[in-house]
Amino acid sequence: MNGQVTLRLEPLGRTIEVTRGASLRLALQECGVEFPCGGRGRCGRCRIRQVDGFLDGGGDQVEILSARELAQGWRLACRCTVECDVTLEVGQWETVILGDQSAFAFEPRDGLGIAVDLGTTTIVAQLVDLRSGRVLAVSTAVNPHAVHGADVMTRIDRALAGARVAMTSELRESVGGLCSRLFDPQSPHARMSLERVVIAGNTLMHHLFCGIDPGPLAQAPFEPREGGLQSFRADELGWCFGPHAVVSFLPCIGGFVGSDVLCGIAATGMARRSSPAVLIDLGTNGEIVVGDSERLLCTSTAAGPAFEGGRIGMGMRATTGAISEVVVERGRIRVRVIGNSVARGICGSGLVDAVAAGLELGLIDPSGRLAGGKSLRLAPGVELTQHDIRQLQLAKGAIAAGVRTLTARSGSDASRSTTTYLAGAFGNYVNRDAARRIGLIDTPETLIEPVGNSALLGAKMALFDIDSGLQAFDALRSRIEYVPLAADLDFQQGYLRALNFPDRHCDQGRSR
C-alpha cells in the first residue's frame, strides 16, 4: 500500500505529508525534533502521543514507557512507522503549563472534585480529594483551538463564521478527555465518587464551553450574553466518568474579564486587604484588578499576545527551543533556551529580558528605536526586529496605563507602594527586574509577587463553595466594578505616555 499520509503535529499545528510506511524518526527529524540516544529506544526523550490515528511501533517501548503512558497513547517516535493519517502531540514541544500546589483553607467533605483552568492556550485539570484538599493527579493539554490563533478575536470570528457548535463540542471533548485522564483505574481513588467539576476561564471560553453565542463579545459594549454561573450534569456533556457529577463554569465579571480573574482575586485574598494591591494577569489579553477590602476595580486591556510570543517575528510559546532568559554578561548578551536545545525562537519572558538587555547595552533607545542596525541578534538564527520591539511597547504601554488609570479611579494614593500580584505562566517566569526596566511595572521589586496559576487555585477553592451555591464567589463578584478603558480619555493619554521605555534603570544594573 503506497501513497502519502498526513502527520499533524501539536502543539505547533504543523502538518506534513510523508510516504506511507515511512520512519517517524526521519519525518520528525526534519521538523527539528531531537533523538538524543540516536533513536536506539533508550532515552525516552523522543516521546510523542497519538492524539488521533495509530502508529505502528516496536514492542520494546514497554521497557521505557509505563503501562499508563502507553494507555494514554504515548510512544517513542524512534520506534514507530507511519501507516495512516495521524495527529501527534510532540513531547519535546510541550508548553510549560502551570499547575498549583498552594495550601488554602477549606471545610472538608466526602468525595472527589476536579478543578479546571480552561485557558485560551492551555488547559490544566487537578483531581482533588475533598476530605483532605490534597491534589491526587494533574492533567494538562493545549486548548484544541490554539492552532487557529492565539488571540480571542480570531476565535470569535471563527465561531461567528459558523463553527460555534463544533467549537463547543471540541472544548467539551477536550476538557472531558483531560478529566478522564485523571483517573487511573488501578489507583485507590478510582473507587471514590466524583462529586463536582469546577471550571474557570475567560468570558469567551465560558461562552464557547457553555454553548452561548459569543457574538456580543465582538461589538461594543462587549458585554457577555449570559455571564452567570452555568451548570451541567457530566452525562449531558457526553462525559462517561462521574456521570452524575455537576460541572459548573464559574461566572464572568465583564466582557473580557472572566472567572479566571475572579478566581485570582479569591486566591490572592486581595479583597480582604486593608491596603490596596494590584493583580495583573498577562496572557493572551491583559486583565488588571486594583483594590482592597473597600473597593475593587477591574478591566481588560487589549495588550495583545506579545507576552505569549504572539505577533513577534520569532515569537513562540514557552516550549522547548524558546529563549526564555536573556542576560548581559561582561557587556555581551547571553541566552537560556528551554530544554537546553538549539534556539528556535523567543517566548514572552525572553522578549522582556531581551529588550531590557538591549536598553542596558544602549542597543535600544528609550523611544524603542534600534540604535544600530535593523535587528538585535540573540542567538544563531534568532533575532528581534524593530517591529517586535514596537509590539512589546504597545503591550506594556497598555498594561502600565491600565494600572495607573484604575489606581487613580480607585482613589488610592498612587505614590504609595502597593503589592503587585503577577498571575499566570508569564507572571511566574518573567524577570521582575527586567519587567521594571522596560516600564511594565513600577512597583518596587520586593513588592512584586508571582502567584502562579491563581485561576486554578480559585477554582479549587470554589469546589468547596459549591454547596452554598457559590455564596462567597457571588458576594465577591458583586463587589467588583468593571471599568471599560477603550474610550477612556485618561487611559488613552496615559497609554501614549507609557509607550516609551524608562530612561534609566532605578535599581542597580542587572549585568552579571
What is the binding site for ligand FES (CB under 6 A)?
35-37, 39, 41-46, 76, 78
Residue corresponding to grid cell 523522543: 46
Shortest separation between residue 28's beta carbon and ligand FES, angstroms? 10
Q: Taking each helix axis from N to C terminus, what angle separates 259-268 and 471-479, rounded to the nearest 10 degrees?
A: 100
Q: In the complex, which residue's CB is closest to ligand FES? A: 78
Closest CA to 232 of 164, 157, 184, 171: 171
For ligand FES, the closer of residues 76 and 455 by Cβ is: 76
Grid look-up 492524539 returns 51
What's CA 429's distance to the chain center, in Å?
Answer: 12
- State the Cα angle at 275 between 271 and 281, rounded to 5°: 55
- Minimum gap (Å) between residue 72 Cβ and ligand FES: 17
Q: Are strands 47-52 and 4-10 parallel, antiparallel or unpaired?
A: unpaired
Give 151-154's long-range contacts (Cβ < 8 A, gap of 24+). 151/120, 151/284, 151/285, 151/304, 151/305, 151/310, 152/120, 152/202, 152/204, 152/217, 152/256, 152/284, 152/285, 153/218
Tell how far CA 371 is from the center of its chain. 33
The 10 Å Cβ neighbour count of residue 345 is: 22
DSSP state of 95: P
How are beta strands 345-346 and 322-329 bridged, if at all?
parallel
Shortest reach from residue 34's CB to ligand FES, in Å: 8
Could you tell me if 39 and 48 are in contact, meaning their C-beta atoms sit under 8 angstroms apart?
no
Pairwise CA distance, residues 183 & 503, whole Å: 54
Report how far residue 78's alpha carbon sits from residue 462's, in angstroms, rounded to the nearest whole number: 44
What's the grid cell of residue 317?
510559546
| Min separation Cβ 31 and ligand FES, Å | 14
Q: Which residue has the cell 512584586?
A: 448
Identity of the residue, 68 or 131, whose beta carbon is nearer to ligand FES in the bound complex:
68
Cβ closer to ligand FES: 29 or 385? 29
Q: CA 475: distance to chain centroid?
A: 27
Cell of 412: 488610592
User: Least Å distance between CB 58 and ligand FES?
Assistant: 11
Handedness of CA 379, 89, 176, 166 (dihedral sign): positive
CB 402 within 8 A of CB 288: yes
Residue 23 or 500: the one with the smaller Cβ distance to ligand FES is 23
Between 43 and 218, whose beta carbon lies closer to ligand FES? Answer: 43
Write down the least CB distance from residue 77 to ligand FES, Å.
Answer: 6
Question: In terms of CB distance, is 26 or 147 closer to ligand FES?
Answer: 26
Q: With CA atoms as reference, report the closest residue to 258 among 309, 223, 304.
A: 223
Strand pairing partners for 442?
Answer: none
- Give the nearer residue to ligand FES in terms of CB position, either 58 or 269: 58
79 vs 477, beta carbon nearer ligand FES:
79
**Shortest Cβ 109–ligand FES spacing (Å):** 44
Question: Taking the complex as a whole, how short is the minimal distance between the CB of residue 347 and ligand FES, in angstroms?
Answer: 25
Looking at the Cβ atoms of 70 and 138, the one nearer to ligand FES is 70
**Residue among 46 and 400 whose Cβ is closer to ligand FES:** 46
- The secondary structure element, H or E, covering residue 375 is strand 375-379
State the minimum distance, in angstroms, from the CB of residue 425 to ligand FES: 28
Smallest gap from Cβ 279 to ligand FES, in A, equals 43
- Of 47 and 477, CB closest to ligand FES: 47
Cα(12)–Cα(437) distance, integer angstroms: 31
The minimum distance between CB 44 and ligand FES, in angstroms, equals: 5
Q: Which C-beta is closer to ligand FES: that of 63 or that of 467?
A: 63
Q: How far is the CB of 16 from ligand FES (least distance, A)?
A: 19
